[in-house]
């Protein structure tokens, strides 16, 4: 089955949203966003020069996240009936965050309607979430952006290695270095949900039913066959002699 990826125009939109997110994050209005970064990463981000910020913004997935994997949170927001009341709007996020969240919802919703797999690639979101966002009306997107306090954040914000790599190699002026860092970061985003499954593999292997242990009790079965080696009789080690042109040790 063919799963078409994002089109060039989609990557252009991703870069524009990334540029808006990075500029918001380094501004005075982005203190809350920066504060969630581990260690000294916030200070490192603010020290980057303009060309480095522009290179980071061209990363081919969204650097900003809107808690796409927060199932309970999105179920509450999607299940809310009617527009948010005045109190919710007064307690909502700053205007810059509202505009960016609304733009991200609009882009991801439109992309998910055309190609939900491409929406997952640029956001790391589950396909079920992409389908829900694709069904939002423009008014619903505005309401979510206005009332979703704390919804916007750095993608994988607590992963220090992830952001150290993007701020160093991902901002390099060498194209090959940037490309390698972006590929690594994209793989990290897309495989984030599979880590638990990978960690469970050893336990699953231990719980497998062991093979029968009485194979060697059968008459006429050699020891190599009893150990599970499907070695033909004429290729057993005890029947082999070294070639004549190779001296024995």
Give whole-number Cα distances, 87 to 83, 91, 105, 148, 209, in Å: 12, 6, 23, 13, 59
Q: Is residue 239 part of a domain?
A: no
Residue 148 confidence (pLDDT):
80
Domain count within the chain: 1
Query: What pTM was computed for the model?
Result: 0.73
DSSP string, 5-36: ---HHHHHHHHHHHHHHHHHHTSGGGHHHHHT
Whether residue 130 lies inside any domain: the answer is yes
The encoded tokens of residue 3 equal 């799963």
Query: What are the pLDDT tens digits along the chain (249 aa)?
Result: 567 889 999 999 999 999 999 999 999 999 999 999 999 999 999 999 999 999 999 999 999 999 998 888 888 888 765 555 545 555 678 899 999 999 999 999 999 999 999 999 999 999 899 999 999 999 899 889 988 888 999 999 999 999 999 999 999 999 999 999 999 999 998 887 544 333 443 444 444 444 454 444 444 544 444 444 444 444 444 444 544 554 554
101's tokens:
């969240």
Sign of torsion over alpha carbons 158, 164, 170, 176: negative
Is residue 17 in some structural domain? yes
Residue 157 placed within a domain: yes
- Residue 217 pairs with which residues in a beta bridge? none
Domain extent, residue 180, equals: 8-198
129 closest CA partner among 147, 117, 145, 114: 117
Match 């200070």 to its residue by tokens. 43
Alpha-carbon span 162 to 176, nearest angstrom: 18
CB-based contact 121:5 (threshold 8 Å): yes
Collapse the DSSP code of 240 into the 3-class scheme (helix H, G, I; strand E, B; otherwise coil) and give the result: coil
Asked if the structure places residue 236 within a domain, the reply is no
**Residue 81 has what pLDDT?**
53
Question: Does 248 fall in a domain?
Answer: no
In a domain, 220, yes or no: no
Which bin fits 128, alpha (ψ -120 to 50), beta or left (φ > 0)?
alpha
Residue 194 CB contacts under 8 Å (≥ 6 apart), including other chains = none
d(CA 186, CA 179): 11
Beta bridge partners of 154: 64
Measured CA to CA, the distance from residue 169 to residue 122 in angstroms comes to 20
Q: Is residue 163 part of a domain?
A: yes
Tokens found for residue 238: 């005890």
Backbone dihedral angles phi then psi of residue 137, each to the nearest 5 degrees: -85, 160
């Amino acid at each position: 089955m063919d799963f078409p990826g994002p089109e060039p125009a989609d990557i252009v939109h991703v870069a524009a949203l990334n540029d808006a997110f990075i500029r918001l994050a380094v501004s005075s209005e982005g203190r809350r966003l920066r504060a969630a970064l581990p260690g000294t990463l916030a200070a490192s981000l603010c020290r980057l020069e303009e060309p480095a910020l522009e290179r980071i913004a061209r990363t081919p997935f969204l650097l900003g996240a809107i808690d796409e994997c927060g199932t309970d949170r999105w179920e509450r927001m999607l299940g809310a009936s009617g527009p948010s009341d005045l109190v919710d709007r007064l307690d909502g996020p700053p205007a810059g965050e509202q505009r960016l969240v609304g733009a991200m919802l609009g882009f991801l919703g439109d992309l998910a309607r055309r190609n939900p797999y491409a929406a997952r690639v640029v956001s790391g979101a589950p396909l079920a979430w992409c389908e829900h966002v694709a069904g939002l009306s423009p008014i619903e997107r505005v309401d979510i952006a206005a009332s979703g306090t704390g919804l916007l954040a750095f993608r994988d914000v607590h992963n220090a290695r992830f952001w150290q790599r993007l701020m160093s190699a991902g901002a390099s002026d060498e194209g090959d270095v940037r490309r390698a860092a972006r590929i690594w970061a994209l793989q990290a985003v897309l495989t984030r949900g599979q880590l638990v499954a990978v960690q469970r593999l050893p336990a699953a292997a231990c719980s497998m039913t062991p093979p029968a242990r009485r194979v060697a009790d059968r008459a006429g079965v050699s020891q190599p066959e009893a150990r599970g080696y499907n070695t033909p009789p004429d290729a057993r080690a005890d029947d082999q002699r070294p070639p004549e042109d190779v001296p024995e040790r």
